[in-house]
Structure 1
């Protein structure tokens, strides 16, 4: 599926024919986020139970099940609430060329490497670093790699961004949805990185209306992050791991330039092959 080529400045000029007051608006998002955070309280009950059994009987996989269940329950409750408020359970899984999956994945990885110097420069207090180490264990990878790409994309792209696109200009909708996606991660370094990813996925959803593509890219991002953690469990988001792997500043600088060129090339290609955005 192809379309005529559009420039970046033209890309965000497609606006709704009329504002529909679709759910959610920016004013309604606070209640939705409130449901998201409050639902984590009852959702934590199975996690506590599974953790107690896991520690008593030496079965760490039960702790994994408990954490995954708690995370899943919280998101399912929030999605259910959003569907009720929206009055519809319709989601968009539009078809996208296979090449778009591959090119977008390469671009997302390159973008992550470009963001790393900024993310790692954010001060990370020892107390926050300790919380991260205690929270992000090998046992939560199941929820990070499988549950998150599916449920978070349904909520943040399929519901929140979809509603924003019907209420606001595409640029405002995509940026705000990305900022909100970053904000729910709470920890500053994680929040900034998630906001970058949220904006990139938001633009792709705006152009394609494909949750399948967004879920795939979310899976790739979380999968690579989890793989890195499995290879080196000394998790330190305030440290630039790629710079260490490069060995010197010259090589690292060249790597960043290469990543920037890859991002530009991927964006240009996707902007050319993806359908012209339509608001519906």
Structure 2
């Protein structure tokens, strides 16, 4: 069954060929609003929880709370989002897995590993490009400030769990599961992929992050549709985010950092090798189901 067709019913079922242009436009807007609702929950719960925490445990500035406890509230927000989506799906007589297109039975471990390797290689390549290319100072500073989540030793283990595991699972369920699935009920496959990718990208705020998040959003959506299973886009996303593990380790050990990141030439070599690995893994994955 096509991706997005085996889950929730639309709140409107009139056929497009029975509608005027204005009706189609209105229904498209309704679909878009319906599709983004789970994403809004995911985006706004962590800051709401942080605000509640600041009110209950005062005495710290907002910046201090973000630095000291941001990872805690982020992880709590993710878990609460998934819990609310699960509760809603049960109330509607379904399940979170069905509504988000997540199938856990008999996964293909080889294909999952290939997609994780693809994501890891692409992340290292993008990081190398961002490091080497002389972007304007404002763009680089915006990117660095958005990447500071892992730079602090506070809550480092929790930050790793949130970034490498919780965030990919939640974002794929929300953006590729719910959002893409709902968009496919009205828009064409190409339109749904582009819309979900753009909406996913703008949530990343920093212009540099927005750029490669849009490209990754397209790829993640295409993988989830091709596999008809959000599990595989989760694997790709986890692989991408897992690049923070070796980078964080090397940044904490100056000798390793100098060895691998000591010159632009070495960074370019690492980026090129990572891209080659990603392309090869993706090609094997793509052909393995032909």
Q: TM-score scaled by structure 2?
A: 0.63
Partner of 1:247: 263
1:267 to 282, 286, 289: 282
Partner of 1:72: 79
Specify whether residues 225 and 135 from structure 1 end up closer, same or farther in structure 2 by C-alpha distance, changes over 3 A only: closer
For residues 75 and 166 of structure 1, the distance between their equivalents in structure 2, rounded to whole angstroms, comes to 22
Specify whether residues 65 and 260 from structure 1 end up closer, same or farther in structure 2 by C-alpha distance, changes over 3 A only: closer
2:110 to 99, 104, 107: 99
Kept in 2: contact 1:165–1:173 (CA 8 A)? yes
1:167 aligns with 2:167: no
Q: Note the C-alpha offset of 1:225.
A: 1.2
- SS of 1:167's equivalent in the other structure is coil
- SS of 1:39's equivalent in the other structure is helix
Partner of 2:228: 209
Deviation per CA, 1:71-119: give whole Å up to 9, x if none. 4335655x46985999854233164422212222222222223333554
Q: Note the C-alpha offset of 1:247.
A: 3.4
Deviation per CA, 1:170-221: give whole Å up to 9, x if none. 3332233222222112122222233333222222211112233333333333
For residues 118 and 106 of structure 1, the distance between their equivalents in structure 2, rounded to whole angstroms, comes to 18
Specify whether residues 194 and 76 from structure 1 end up closer, same or farther in structure 2 by C-alpha distance, changes over 3 A only: farther
Deviation per CA, 1:19-47: give whole Å up to 9, x if none. x9848833544555544444344322454
For residues 112 and 174 of structure 1, the distance between their equivalents in structure 2, rounded to whole angstroms, comes to 21
- SS of 2:204's equivalent in the other structure is coil
Which is further off, 127-136 or 211-220?
Answer: 127-136
For residues 210 and 16 of structure 1, the distance between their equivalents in structure 2, rounded to whole angstroms, comes to 10
1:228 aligns with 2:227: no
Specify whether residues 264 and 223 from structure 1 end up closer, same or farther in structure 2 by C-alpha distance, changes over 3 A only: closer
Partner of 1:113: 124
Q: Note the C-alpha offset of 1:159.
A: 1.0
Which is further off, 89-98 or 154-163?
Answer: 89-98
Q: CA RMSD in A?
A: 4.5
- 1:1-280 matches, cutoff 5 A: 22=10, 25-29=31-35, 31-45=37-51, 47-48=53-54, 65-74=72-81, 76-77=83-84, 79=85, 88-89=94-95, 90=98, 91-93=101-103, 95-116=106-127, 118-120=129-131, 121=133, 122-123=135-136, 125=138, 128=142, 131-132=145-146, 135-136=149-150, 137-138=152-153, 139=155, 140-232=159-251, 245=261, 247=263, 249=265, 256-274=271-289
Q: Note the C-alpha offset of 1:274.
A: 2.9
Specify whether residues 257 and 272 from structure 1 end up closer, same or farther in structure 2 by C-alpha distance, changes over 3 A only: same
- SS of 1:147's equivalent in the other structure is helix
For residues 16 and 32 of structure 1, the distance between their equivalents in structure 2, rounded to whole angstroms, comes to 15
Specify whether residues 264 and 243 from structure 1 end up closer, same or farther in structure 2 by C-alpha distance, changes over 3 A only: farther
For residues 200 and 33 of structure 2, the distance between their equivalents in structure 1, rounded to whole angstroms, comes to 16
Specify whether residues 76 and 258 from structure 1 end up closer, same or farther in structure 2 by C-alpha distance, changes over 3 A only: same
Kept in 2: contact 1:92–1:211 (CA 8 A)? yes
Task: Give the aligned length.
Answer: 248
For residues 218 and 149 of structure 1, the distance between their equivalents in structure 2, rounded to whole angstroms, comes to 5
Kept in 2: contact 1:208–1:274 (CA 8 A)? no
